[in-house]
Amino acid sequence: MTSAAVAEPREFSTVSTGFSTGPARTMRKPRVGVIVFPGSNCDRDAGNAFVETEQGDTVYLWHEETDLQGVDAVVVPGGFSYGDALRAGAIARFAPIMGEVARFAEAGGLVVGVCNGFQILCEAGLLPGALIRNEGLRFICRQVNLRVETADTPFTALYEQGEVLSIPIAHGEGCYTCDDVTYDRLAAENQILFRYCERDGSLTPAANPNGSRGSIAGIVGGPSRNVLGMMPHPERATTAALGSSDGERLFAGIRHALSAAR
């Protein structure tokens, strides 16, 4: 299935937090906190994605802070935090703000990690697995196709399972890896959100740009499927002027979920 019109909002499995994308009562714009590390370069893109699509207002949170300022959701953006010293995300996971992010996630708050943000969430133990050097040992920056594996999350509730999206990537350490037990659990518990694919949705080695296990491009975790990590950049695909608007529904889904939870 190729990109289609916005799907009807649906219920999803986050009973403990009450998140839902059923008809929203007020649809108040959420306040979204975007973490800023030394070396972040996608923080403004992430913030603008919410503001320009009218899905939320943005608060930028410096890595040394220990207060999330009452935000409704948190984004850990892409970039090269701390210059990717040691390995991507290895130092950022110790930033003071990450302790607050971990507590926020444990309480059921929505957390999105994109590219370097995904790496940081894995390093911090908020998501399983790790991101390592691309299989070809080269930095890759191009558009890719993603297959939506499940709509049973607040992040993908406005997509259809099996739908193919066009989203850009830009990374050198985007190869997702994990042990067999973790991979089997991700598959069994429907935690794989996106896989790299061909335009027709088929999974092939050629469509997997970095050698990720199982062609995994994004996963969900947390106590109530409330933590998303993905290597592709949905914030760079929110309008046709950018080459694709397929990422916009991810941000709209977050707003729907938060509004319905009130």
Rg (CA), the chain: 17
Which amino acid is residue 239, in one-letter code? T
What is the per-residue DSSP string for 148-185? E----STTTTTS-TT-EEEEEEEESS-EEE--HHHHHH
In the numeric block, which tokens belong to residue 38? 């030394």
Core vs surface per residue 3-38: b (16+ CB within 10 A) or e: eeeebebeebebeebebbbeebeeeebbbbbbbbbe
Q: Is 235 a catalytic residue?
A: yes
Catalytic residue among 123, 163, 197, 233: 233
Catalytic residue among 122, 235, 248, 256: 235
Q: Is 122 a catalytic residue?
A: no
Closest listed residue to residue 3, CA positions, set 171, 247, 242, 185: 247
Q: Is 198 a catalytic residue?
A: no
Catalytic residue among 115, 122, 178, 197: 115
* Integer Cα distance of 193 and 247 in angstroms: 14
Q: So which residues are the catalytic ones?
A: 115, 233, 235
